[in-house]
Chain A
C-alpha cells in the first residue's frame, strides 16, 4: 500500500502532466495581476469583489474541477487504457484498496498543488495592496474590515472539500464510461458552471453551491451577493448557519462506496486485449 501510495504521488507529479497543471494554474495568477494593473475603481468593496470573484469563478468553478477531471479520469482509467492496471490488480491487494490508496494520494497531491495556486493567486492579488488604507476609507457592506489573509484561510479550509468532492465524482465517471473526459466536461459546464449560477432551487445539487455554503461560513456571508441570487431565493439556497461540509462529505462517501463496489465487480481490463 505504501509503495502504491508513493508510486501514485510520483505519477501525479510527472513531467508532462505537471506542465499542463502549471499552465492551468498560471491563468488565475495572470488574471490577478491584470486586475492589479487595472485597479478596479472605488474602495475596498470593489477590490474585495474583484478578489473574491476571481477566486470563486476562476479558481473554484473552473480550474479546480478541470484539475480534478484530469487526475480523476487518470486514477484508474489511464491505467486501464495503458493496460498497466494488470500489474496492480494481480497483486495481493484488493481492487478497492488499490482505488482508495490511489484516490488518497491523488487528493493529497491536488490539495498541495491547488493550495500553492491559491496562495500564488492571493499573493499576486494582495501583496503590496494597502488594505489598511482601503479599510479606513470604508468597510464592507456588513460593516466589517476586509482581512484578506483570514479569507485565504477560509479558502484553504474549503479546498480539501472541493478536491475530494470533484475528484470522487470524476473518478466515478471514469469508472462508468470510457468517454469520461467528454462527460466530465459536460458536467463541469452544464452543472457546475451554468446550473450553479442560475437562480433556481436545483442549484443545491451542485458541488459549487455546497462549496459556496461552506465558504460563506468560513469567510463571510457577504460572498453570497457575488453569486447574484435573488434575495427571495437566498435563504433557500444558502440557509444561515448551514455549511456544505456535511453534504459534501456524505456525497464523497456515497460516491467512493459506489466506486469501490464498481471497481470490485468490474473486470477493468480492456476487452480486446484479453479475448485471445
Chain B
C-alpha cells in the first residue's frame, strides 16, 4: 500500500506546487517601496515648464500618483476610470508623465480627459526609476505623511478601484484625520 501512496503523495505535492505557480503572475513584481517614504523628486510641470512639481506637493493628504504616457494604450481605458474618480473628488490624482513628448501628452489630455491636479513631466524616466516603475500605467497610493502604501501595476480597472483602492484611500484618510 505504502509503495503506491508515496508516489501519489509526491505527485499531489508537485501538482499543488505547480497550481500555485500558475496562479502567480510573474509580470507583477511586488514593490519594495511599500511602507517606505515616497522618493524625492522635482520635475517641471507638464502644463507649465516654469513651474515645478515636487514630492512636497503630495504631502498633507492622501494622494494617487499615476504614471502614464500618451503612447501607452492601456492608459486610455484607465483614463475613464480616473476621470470618474476625479469627478467624485474622493482623492486628488497627481500624474507622472513618463517618457513622453510634451505636445503629445497635452493633446492626449484633451482627447481622453484630464483627471490630474498636476502632472510632473519625466522626459527621461529618471524619477520613474527612482520610484521603481517598470511599466505604464502604474499607480501609487501615498498617504498624508508621504509614505507609499500601495502600488497598482497595470491599469486601475473599475473592479480594482472599488475593491482595493477606494477602501484603502478611505482607511488612510481616516488614519490622517485621527492624528
Question: Is B truly associated with A?
Answer: no
